[in-house]
Amino acid sequence: MGSREGEKMDIPPTLDRPGSRSAVLQRLLSFRYAAAGIWAMLRSQQNAWIHAAATAAVLVAGLTFRINPLEWCVVTLAIIAVWTAEALNTAFEFLADVASPGFHPLVKKAKDVAAGAVLVAAFGAAVAGVLVFAPRIAGLLNG
């Protein structure tokens, strides 16, 4: 995508020169499109609501147990991993449904693999949660 020496680089019609008012507007609109994508995921995926509830519970637990900054980093990265996997899985499902509206065994396999990626991320997040919160919960239970 880079420019070779002596070659004129064309600017795509959707982008203006950096720093222009129109370029800034395009950047702001990209956030709006991203928010619309997150909303589409939340509206269409029941598992996203489970992730939202788990995210809220983990954030409340982190504040309640006053986890340290390093633990917040672990928890934050785990949350981001799950949400990223869920978003990519959702996007993939939408595209697969357009490409192959009827049943196709390879599309099913691809969707299963994408869903498996979400499961891997969620399992990793659960392990991270246990490592961060189990000692605190054990201390609470032991008095």
Active site residue ranges: 86
**The residue type at 68:** N
Are 8 and 58 in contact, with CB atoms under 8 Å apart? no
Torsion (CA) 78, 81, 83, 85 in degrees, nearest 10: -150
Look up residue 55 and give its two tokens.
């995210």
Please state, in angstroms and rounded to a whole number, the distance separating the CA atoms of residues 49 and 47. Answer: 5
Residue type, 103: F
Q: Give the DSSP letter of residue 79.
A: H
* E runs forming strands in the chain: none
Smallest CA-to-CA distance from 94 within 119, 111, 116, 118 is with 111
